[in-house]
């Protein structure tokens, strides 16, 4: 149904004379030459029929993959078809039809992959293949006239600079949280009094809205930079990356500490008793027995933090912290939705890839097999 609506009831693309005007929508029949439009409609209707009538996951998976392989190049074809020759101001953007059809095909793909029960290595291979095909599509030049790629072409250098800054904020805060949160989690596991107070404080921090926490941290960090030449030399400021890193670090502590405590607590008492009976010291029990058994749960907490931080780092742009959120807020200010997508799509892609990769690592650590 979603494919039918995307093909027949809503526009496939939007054509604008320049990047900030509202523009006009184009249906499939208007966005492509007649032969291409009819071919795309017939192919997608056939894929929709397979999704409804066929129950074998491999056939449904093949149909969804073919649909993606047709839809994405079709948008590039539409952009080239609608853009006047030599016109560098016109913009052709994917419209509701593209997003509806893409969502329907993505749901079909996800359903098939779930039913096929792919193991961790198969999931990693599928992710690598998806990104490789996307790279081939972009490298082929077939999307060069699509507005999103045109926005990138004018900002390629700053895009990669802000992308590196985004990863620095997300991974830097995660690394700090692991270095501090993991030992703190071990201490909470051993000292029950410390556990209650620590988790309560971290829960309170987690309830503070991100932009509010960034604002709260601007005052003490700004004061620290003013009174301490060393802090100023290290780049600590009231605005910029410093408050963003500290805020993301504080948000990261709860999942790391809590999952460390839960992982260590869930180790069965008979296992601990057996280790004690073998003469292992408390330190040896921790490192040789408890931590290996708790590792999958601890890794799950790290996965939560990484996906969370990749999203929260977007807000850092509001206080001068940089990152891909810079393009999102610039695009909102300029009413340029393609610029918003230039920042948003890579963030979503990184978060999705991080979730898939760490899920696979968790399964491998747990000894899960398909």
Tens of pLDDT, residue by residue over 114-149, are 888 888 888 899 899 999 999 999 899 889 889 999
| pLDDT of residue 224 exceeding 80 | no
- The reply to whether 104 and 217 lie within a common domain is no
Asked if the structure places residue 143 within a domain, the reply is no
**Boundary residue ending a domain (57, 90, 117):** 117
| Percent of the chain residues topping a pLDDT of 90 | 45
Read off the pLDDT band of 368 (50, 70, 90). low
Helix (H, G, I), strand (E, B) or coil at 94: strand
- The reply to whether 168 and 264 lie within a common domain is yes
Q: Which of 243, 251, 227, 225 is nearest to 322 (CA)?
A: 243
Return the pLDDT at 214: 80
- The reply to whether 33 and 179 lie within a common domain is no
- The reply to whether 201 and 320 lie within a common domain is yes
Domain limits at 185?
156-366
- The reply to whether 225 and 338 lie within a common domain is yes
Of 69-78, 185-194, 256-265, 301-310, least confident by mean pLDDT is: 185-194
- The reply to whether 177 and 268 lie within a common domain is yes
Question: Using CA atoms, how far apart are residues 314 and 328, in angstroms rounded to an integer?
Answer: 8
Angle at 135 between CA 351 and CA 6, to 5 degrees: 75
Of 138-152, 234-248, 259-273, least confident by mean pLDDT is: 234-248
- The reply to whether 43 and 161 lie within a common domain is no
Question: Using CA atoms, how far apart are residues 365 and 66, in angstroms rounded to an integer?
Answer: 34
Read off the pLDDT band of 231 (50, 70, 90). low
Q: Which of 229, 198, 93 is nearest to 150 (CA)?
A: 93
User: How many CB atoms neighbour CB 112 within 10 A?
Assistant: 21
Q: Give Dmax over CA atoms of the chain in angstroms.
A: 81
- Average pLDDT of the chain to the nearest whole number: 87
Return the pLDDT at 367: 67
CB 221 within 8 A of CB 237: yes
- The reply to whether 218 and 100 lie within a common domain is no
CB 170 within 8 A of CB 313: yes
Return the pLDDT at 345: 93
CATH label of the domain that carries residue 333:
1.10.3720.10
- The reply to whether 94 and 220 lie within a common domain is no
Tens of pLDDT, residue by residue over 78-99, are 999 998 888 878 889 999 899 9
Read off the pLDDT band of 217 (50, 70, 90). confident
- The reply to whether 293 and 162 lie within a common domain is yes
- The reply to whether 204 and 339 lie within a common domain is yes
This model's pTM is above 0.85:
yes
- The reply to whether 177 and 43 lie within a common domain is no
Tens of pLDDT, residue by residue over 320-353, are 888 999 999 999 888 788 899 999 999 999 999 9
Angle at 77 between CA 34 and CA 329, to 5 degrees: 130
Mention every residue, 6+ apart, whose C-beta is less than 8 A from residue 306.
Answer: 170, 171, 174, 354, 358
Q: Which two tokens stand for residue 246?
A: 């500290």
Provide the domain count of the chain. Answer: 2
Q: Which of 348, 349, 355 is nearest to 300 (CA)?
A: 355
Asked if the structure places residue 357 within a domain, the reply is yes
């Amino acid at each position: 149904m979603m494919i039918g609506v995307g093909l027949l009831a809503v526009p496939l693309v939007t054509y604008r004379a320049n990047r900030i005007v509202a523009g006009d929508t184009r249906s499939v029949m208007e966005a492509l030459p007649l032969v291409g439009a009819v071919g795309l409609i017939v192919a997608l209707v056939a894929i929709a029929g397979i999704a409804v009538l066929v129950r074998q996951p491999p056939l449904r998976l093949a149909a969804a993959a073919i649909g993606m392989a047709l839809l994405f190049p079709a948008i590039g074809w539409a952009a080239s078809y609608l853009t006047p020759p030599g016109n560098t101001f016109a913009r052709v953007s994917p419209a509701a039809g593209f997003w509806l059809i893409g969502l329907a095909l993505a749901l079909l793909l996800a359903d098939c992959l779930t039913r096929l029960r792919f193991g961790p290595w198969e999931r990693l291979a599928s992710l690598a293949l998806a990104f490789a095909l996307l790279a081939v599509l972009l490298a082929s030049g077939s999307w060069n006239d699509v507005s999103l790629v045109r926005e990138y072409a004018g900002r390629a250098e700053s895009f990669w600079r802000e992308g590196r800054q985004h990863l620095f904020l997300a991974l830097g805060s995660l690394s700090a949280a692991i270095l501090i949160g993991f030992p703190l989690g071990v201490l909470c596991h051993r000292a029950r009094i410390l556990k209650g107070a620590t988790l309560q404080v971290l829960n309170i921090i987690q309830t503070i809205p991100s932009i509010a926490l960034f604002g709260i941290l601007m005052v003490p960090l700004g004061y620290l930079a003013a009174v301490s030449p060393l802090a100023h030399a290290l780049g600590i400021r009231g605005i910029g990356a410093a408050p963003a890193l500290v805020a993301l670090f504080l948000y990261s502590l709860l999942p790391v500490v809590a999952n460390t405590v839960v992982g260590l607590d869930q180790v069965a008492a008979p296992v601990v008793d057996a280790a004690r009976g073998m003469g292992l010291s408390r330190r040896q029990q921790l490192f040789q027995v408890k931590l290996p058994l708790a590792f999958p749960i601890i890794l799950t907490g790290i996965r939560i933090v990484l996906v969370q931080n990749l999203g929260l780092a977007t807000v850092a742009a509001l206080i001068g912290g940089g990152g891909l959120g810079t393009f999102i807020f610039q695009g909102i200010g300029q009413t340029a939705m393609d610029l918003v997508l230039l920042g948003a799509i890579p963030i979503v892609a990184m978060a999705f890839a991080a979730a898939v990769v760490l899920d696979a690592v968790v399964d491998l650590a747990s000894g899960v097999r398909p």
